């Protein structure tokens, strides 16, 4: 079975390529490299000892994407390609809607033209807005607070409408919680451009001395220690969830929606402590005002993924911090030499 991985050069995509290849799938990768490096593809080949085609192609270019489907007989698509920076999406909403939604519409039209009816889509816990209670279950009400989140919610709606119009489709929507860590080889990992927006890449850059200290955004939330609580999940566990989704759902028509998280909530200060332990480095921090739009706490009920995908997270917080530090310390400048 051959899977086209859009956004396969990126952080989660590259890890998923490894898990697909190790599970015996053939793959082809489509990416415009707008937020990634082609070197990640060499590293995937190094880890797995397997080869695959790469198409440097933009989902906004209908003709070029169509050519990929003409060249490759794919059985399904895992669709990671998209822009993901929340703050930037507030500054450039039209660009985010265009890239993420038009890109997805092109992909879906071409899939239908070529009778490729399986898709796994990268959604996010951001579609739950500020949840009414915790843990979060898939049928909670949906809302968003920024254009990035809205692109996810609208694409979910587009996929549901597509299935209504064409019952051949098998659509699996995975709502990720907070992916961190890296492959244990230290060859692939998260390589944010510029100053990181997210907590763990920021902590990792403080640990290697690239940034002086962490700003902790708020310590007055109604949480265990006042700082924000999230459900951090090892990127390899998240990647395995994609393989399970293909295995279990690709021949089951319908729209299947799963939370992919561990079910554990850790605070910012707990993350700082865990990372200090894993790295042996002190993480200096200062308490700062809340980041606008942040919610106090968010963690998953992932029972549905356990029951229907036979998927459960295997890695704990210590593993996530160890593997994140292994990547960062071996590649202080990410994929750049
Ligand atoms: P990433 O930026 O590392 O990977 C996305 C990839 O898509 C990049 O390689 C980028 O070059 C490519 N891309 C973007 N627009 C494209 C286009 N028009 N055509 C072709 N390629 C394009 O991000 P990631 O962390 O690996 O995230 C993957 C997916 O998961 C995204 O859709 C993201 O929104 C979603 N997601 C991520 C998180 C997270 O915290 N990392 C959480 C929830 C959901
Ligand atoms: N935080 C800090 N300092 C920082 C960065 C983050 O204190 O420099 C705090 C935040 O306030 C929050 C926690 O660390 O309490 C996690 O923040 P992240 O930015 O790492 O993650 P978010 O939960 O805010 O958002 C992430 C992705 C979104 C996605 C969401 C849910 O960035 O795209 O998870 O999946 F939608």
Kindly report the protein residue whose alpha carbon is nearest to atom 33 of ligand 1: 84
Bridge partners (DSSP) of residue 121 are: 79, 173
Query: Which of 59, 81, 192, when mutated, tests ligand 1's pocket best, judged by the most ligand atoms within 8 Å of its CB?
Result: 81
User: Does residue 109 contact residue 67 with C-beta atoms inside 8 Å?
Assistant: no
- How many whole angstroms separate alpha carbon 224 and alpha carbon 336? 39
Ligand nearest to the CA of 122: 1
Best residue for ligand 1 mutational test, from 43, 82, 152 (most atoms within 8 Å of Cβ): 82
Mind listing the pLDDT tens digit of every residue in the chain (337 residues)? 999 999 999 999 999 999 999 999 999 999 999 999 999 999 999 999 999 999 999 999 999 999 999 999 999 999 999 999 999 999 999 999 999 999 999 999 999 999 999 999 999 999 999 999 999 999 999 999 999 999 999 999 999 999 999 999 999 999 999 999 999 999 999 999 999 999 999 999 999 999 999 999 999 999 999 999 999 999 999 999 999 999 999 999 999 999 999 999 999 999 999 999 999 999 999 999 999 999 999 999 999 999 999 999 999 999 999 999 999 999 999 999 7
Nearest atom of ligand 2 to the alpha carbon of 271: 14
Q: Are 176 and 237 in contact (CB under 8 A)?
A: no
Q: What 3 state SS string does 27-54 have?
A: EEEEECCCCCCCHHHHHHHHHHCCCCEE
Task: Report CA(148)–ligand 2 centroid distance (Å).
Answer: 13
The pick from 216, 230, 235, 261 for probing ligand 2's pocket by mutation, whose C-beta has the most ligand atoms within 8 angstroms, reads: 230
Q: In angstroms, what is the span from residue 323 Cα to ligand 2's centroid? A: 19
Which ligand is located closest to the Cα atom of residue 292? 2
The pLDDT of residue 337 is: 74
Please give the distance, rounded to the nearest whole angstrom, from the Cα atom of residue 13 to the centre of ligand 1: 8
Q: Ligand 2 pocket: which residues have CB below 6 Å?
A: 84, 86, 124-126, 176-178, 197-199, 202, 214-217, 228, 230, 268, 291, 294
Say whether 217 sits in a helix, a strand or coil.
strand
Is 0.95 surpassed by the pTM of this model?
yes
Ligand found nearest the CA of 61: 1
**Inter-residue contact 231 to 299 (CB < 8 Å):** yes
Could you give the CA distance from residue 288 to residue 274 in angstroms, rounded to a whole number? 21
pLDDT score at 12: 99
Q: What would the pLDDT profile of 149-169 be if each residue is shown by its tens digit?
A: 999 999 999 999 999 999 999
Distance CA 172, CA 92 (A): 28
Q: If you measure from the C-alpha of residue 62 to the centroid of ligand 2, how many angstroms do you get, rounded to a whole number?
A: 33
Give 3-state DSSP helix, strand, coil % of the chain, rounded to 5.
40, 20, 40
Which of ligand 2's atoms lies nearest the C-alpha of 148? 33
pLDDT digits (tens, 9 = 90+) for 199-217: 999 999 999 999 999 999 9
Separation between Cα atoms, residue 296 and residue 127, nearest integer Å: 15
Ligand 1 centre to CA of 270 (Å) is 27
**Residues in the ligand 1 pocket, defined by CB under 6 Å:** 7, 9-13, 31-36, 58-60, 80-84, 99, 103, 122, 124, 176, 178-179
Please give the distance, rounded to the nearest whole angstrom, from the Cα atom of residue 126 to the centre of ligand 2.
10
Domains with residue ranges and CATH for the chain: 2-190+232-263+298-315 (3.40.50.720)
What is the Å distance from ligand 2's center to 76 Cα?
Answer: 31
pLDDT at 13: 99
Catalytic amino acids? 148
Residue nearest to ligand 2 atom 12, measured at CA: 228
Residue 37's pLDDT is what? 97
């Amino acid at each position: 079975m051959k899977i086209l991985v859009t956004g396969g050069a990126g952080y989660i995509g590259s890890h998923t390529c490894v898990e697909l290849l190790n599970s015996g799938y053939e793959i082809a990768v489509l990416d415009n490299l707008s937020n990634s490096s082609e070197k990640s593809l060499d590293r995937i080949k190094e880890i797995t000892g397997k080869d695959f085609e790469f198409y440097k192609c933009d989902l906004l270019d209908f003709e070029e994407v169509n050519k990929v489907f003409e060249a490759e007989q794919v059985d399904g698509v895992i669709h990671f390609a998209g822009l993901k920076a929340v703050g930037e999406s507030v500054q450039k909403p039209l660009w985010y809607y265009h890239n993420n939604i038009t890109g997805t519409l092109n992909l879906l039209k071409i899939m239908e033209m070529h009778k490729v009816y399986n898709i796994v889509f990268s959604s996010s816990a951001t579609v739950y807005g500020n949840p009414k209670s915790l843990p979060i279950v898939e049928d909670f009400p949906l809302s968003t607070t920024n254009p990035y989140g809205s692109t996810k919610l609208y694409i979910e709606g587009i996929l549901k409408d597509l299935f209504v119009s064409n019952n051949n489709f098998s659509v699996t929507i995975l709502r990720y919680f907070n992916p961190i860590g890296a492959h244990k080889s230290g060859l692939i990992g998260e390589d944010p451009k510029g100053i990181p927006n997210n907590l763990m890449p920021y902590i990792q850059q403080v640990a290697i001395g690239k940034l002086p200290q962490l700003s902790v955004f708020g310590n007055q939330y109604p949480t265990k220690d006042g700082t924000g609580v999230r459900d951090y999940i090892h990127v390899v566990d998240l990647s395995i969830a994609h393989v399970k989704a293909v295995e279990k759902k690709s021949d089951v028509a319908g729209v299947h929606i799963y939370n992919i998280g561990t079910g554990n909530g850790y605070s910012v200060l707990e993350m700082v402590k865990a990372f200090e332990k894993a790295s042996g480095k002190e993480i200096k921090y200062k308490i700062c005002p809340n980041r606008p739009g942040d919610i106090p706490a968010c963690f998953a009920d992932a029972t549905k993924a356990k029951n229907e995908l036979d998927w459960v997270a295997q890695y704990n917080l210590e593993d996530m911090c160890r593997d994140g530090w292994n990547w960062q310390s071996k590649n202080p400048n990410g994929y750049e030499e």
